[in-house]
Amino acid sequence: MQIVFTVLVLLLAVAMSGVLSRLSPVRLPLPLFQIAIGALLAAPAFGLKVRFDPELFLLLFIPPLLFVDGWRIPKRQLYQLRGPILALALGLVLFTVVGVGYFIHWLIPAISLPVAFALGAVLSPTDAVAVSAIVGKDRLPARLQHVLEGESLLNDASGLVAFKFAIAAAVTGAFSLWEASLSFVIIAAGGLAVGAGLAWLLSLGRRLVARWTDDEPAIQVVLLLLTPFAAYLVAEHFGVSGILSAVAAGIAMTYTDAAQQGSSAIRLQSNSVWSMLEFVFNGMTFILLGLQLPSVIGLAQADAREAGNVPIWHLFLYVAAITLVLIVLRLLWVWVTYHLNSFKLLLHGSPVRRINPWVLLTTSLSGVRGSITMAGVLTVPLEIAAGTPFPARDLLIFLATGVILCSLLIGSTLLPLVLSRVPVPVESMKEREEREARLRLARAALDGLEQAQRRLGYGLDEESTAVLAEVGGDLAKIYRNRIDAESDSADIAARANLHRSFERDLRMAAVYAQRAELFRLREARLLDDDVFTVLLRDVDLAENWLAGPLVSKH
C-alpha cells in the first residue's frame, strides 16, 4: 500500500506542478516548480520518503522518454545537421570531460583526477526538454532546436559511457585510451544496431497481431509502449548501450510504421498516450530530483570535510564556478567548430555567413543539465573495494545536484532575455513547407474527387448523376478555397482565409450546439449511455478537426 500511495502522490504532484506553472504570476520553467514540489514533499511537514534507485530509474523513465524523442525528432533535419549534432554529442562531451575534470581537480584537490573526470562526464549530458520548458515551445530557432534535440538524444549515451570508464579508472587505477575508444565504438554501434533491429522485428510482430485482432488500436498501443523497454533491456543484456538502443528504436519506428501505414485510430491513440506519458515521466524525474534535495543539502557539512575542511559556503561557490566553466567551454567549442566549418567552406569556395553572437550565446546557455546527470551520479559505487568507501561520493552528488539547479536557474533567467535578441525569419522553413504541403494536398484532393466522380458516375441515371455532381461540386469548392488561401495574390488569399475563418466559427458553433443537446438528452433520460458515448465521440472528433490550423499563415 505504501508504494501505491507514493505513486499516487507523485502523480498528483505532477498534475499540480502544471497547474501552478500556469497560475504563477512569475514565468518560471515547469522543471523548477516540480523540483520545488519534490523538495516540499520531502520536508518534515510531509515526510515523503522515496528511495532513489538509479538502475530502476534508468529503466523506467529514460527509455520511454528517449524513444518518444527519437520517434518525433524530424529525421531529415537530424541527417542534414549530423555534423553539428555529432560535434556536440561526441566532441563536446570529450572536451567537457577533460576540461571540467582538470578544473574540478584544480579547484578541489581532495577530488582525484579520475574522480574529477567522472564528475565531468556525468555533467556532460544536456536536457533539451528542460530548455523547451524554459523558453516555451517553438520559441527557439528551428535549426538550433533540432541541433539541441539531436545533441540531447546522443550525448546521454556518450556521457554515461565516458562516466563508466572514468569510474572504472577510479576504482581499478588503470585506464587504456585505445581499449576505451574501441569499447565505446562497440557499445554505441551495438546499441544502435540492437534498437533498429528490434524495432523492425517488433513492427513485423505488430503487423501480424493487427491481422489477427482486426487492427484493434488498444492492443497495438500497448505493444508500442513495450518497445522502448524491450530495446533497453535487450541491449543491456548484450552489454551495449541501452540508451542508444531506445533512441534507435524510436527513430527506426518512424520508418517501420510509415511502411506499415496503420490505421488513423492507432496513430491518434498512440499520440495521446505518448503525450500523457511524456508529461508524467518528465514531471516525475524532476520531482524525484527535488525529493533528494533535503538529504543532499543535509550532508553539506560532511561534504565540506571531504572537500578539505572548507567552509560550507565554499561548496556553493564550487557549484557556481563549475556551472560557469561548463557554459564557457560550451561557448568555446561552438565558436571553434563553427569557424573550422566556415574555413572548410571557404576552401571549397562556398559562401560563409558570420555567426550571430546572440545565437552563439543562446546555444551556450542551452546546455541545461537534467535527470540523466542526477541518475548517473547516483550510480557512483559506495565502495572501491571491500571496506574502502568511494572517495568523495557524497561531495560528487552535492556538486552534480547543485549544477543541475544552477544551470536551470541561469537558463531561466538569461535564456528568455538572450532569445529576444535572436533574429526570427518572417516565415520559417517549417511554415513554408507546411504551406506548400497543404497546397499539394488540396490539389491531390481535387484530382481524387474528379477521378471518383468519373468512376462513380459510370452507368448512373440522370437524377443520380445530378446528385453526384452537386455533392462533388460542394466538396471541390472547399478544396479550391484552400488553394486560394495559399495564393500569391494578397486579396485572393485574404478573402479565402476570411471565408475559412467564418466557416470554422460557424461549424464550431454547430458542434457546441450538438454537444449541449446531447447532454440535455442524457439528463432527460432520452438517451442510453452507450448511444451517448458514441455520439459524443463523433462530436469531439469534429471539434478536434476544426481546432486545427484552418487559416493559412501565408
pTM score, whole prediction: 0.78
Percent of the chain with pLDDT over 70: 90
Q: How confident is the model at residue 68 (pLDDT cuts 50, 70, 90)?
A: confident
Mean pLDDT, rounded, for 104-131: 87
User: Average pLDDT over the chain, rounded to whole?
Assistant: 82
pLDDT at 426: 53
Q: Are 29 and 134 in contact (CB under 8 A)?
A: yes
Residue 351 pLDDT greater than 70, yes or no? no
C-alpha span between 389 and 327 (Å, rounded): 32
The distance from CA 267 to its chain's CA centroid, rounded to whole angstroms, is 18
Residue 99 pLDDT greater than 90, yes or no? yes
Q: Are 163 and 376 in contact (CB under 8 A)?
A: yes
Mean pLDDT, rounded, for 474-486: 83
The angle formed by the CA atoms of residues 63, 68 and 70, to the nearest 5 degrees, is 95
Contacts of 442 (CB under 8 A, 6+ apart): 479, 480, 482, 483, 486
pLDDT at 229: 93
Higher pLDDT, 509 or 134: 509
Residue 121 pLDDT greater than 50, yes or no? yes
Higher pLDDT, 64 or 57: 64
Q: Are 398 and 117 in contact (CB under 8 A)?
A: no
pLDDT at 368: 87
pLDDT at 46: 81
Residue 458 pLDDT greater than 70, yes or no? yes
Mean pLDDT, rounded, for 132-145: 72
Percent of the chain with pLDDT over 90: 15
Residue 402 pLDDT greater than 60, yes or no? yes
Higher pLDDT, 200 or 299: 200
Question: Could you tell me the three cell numbers for 10?
Answer: 507523485
Polymer length of the chain: 554
Backbone angles phi, psi at 125, to 5 degrees: -65, 140
Residue 506 pLDDT greater than 70, yes or no? yes
pLDDT at 95: 93
pLDDT at 195: 93
Lowest mean pLDDT among 76-90, 288-302, 423-437: 423-437
Q: Are 203 and 253 in contact (CB under 8 A)?
A: yes
Q: Are 397 and 377 in contact (CB under 8 A)?
A: yes
Residue 16 pLDDT greater than 80, yes or no? yes
Q: Are 66 and 153 in contact (CB under 8 A)?
A: yes
Q: How confident is the model at residue 219 (pLDDT cuts 50, 70, 90)?
A: confident
How many alpha carbons fall within 13 Å on the CB side of residue 227?
38
Please name the amino acid found at residue 296.
Answer: V
pLDDT at 101: 92
Tell me which range, 48-62, 98-112, 356-370, 383-397, is most confidently predicted by mean pLDDT: 98-112
Which contiguous run of DSSP H or E holds residue 134?
Answer: helix 128-135
pLDDT at 438: 81
pLDDT at 342: 64
pLDDT at 349: 55
The angle formed by the CA atoms of residues 354, 357 and 363, to the nearest 5 degrees, is 110
- Give start and end residues of each alpha helix (H) in 524-553: 529-546
Mean pLDDT, rounded, for 286-312: 78
pLDDT at 196: 92
Q: How confident is the model at residue 553 (pLDDT cuts 50, 70, 90)?
A: very low
Q: How confident is the model at residue 44 (pLDDT cuts 50, 70, 90)?
A: confident
Residue 304 pLDDT greater than 90, yes or no? no
- Give start and end residues of each alpha helix (H) in 139-263: 142-172, 177-212, 217-237, 242-260
pLDDT at 352: 57
pLDDT at 5: 85
The angle formed by the CA atoms of residues 176, 178 and 182, to the nearest 5 degrees, is 120
The angle formed by the CA atoms of residues 164, 166 and 167, to the nearest 5 degrees, is 65
Beta-bridge partner residues of 383 = 389
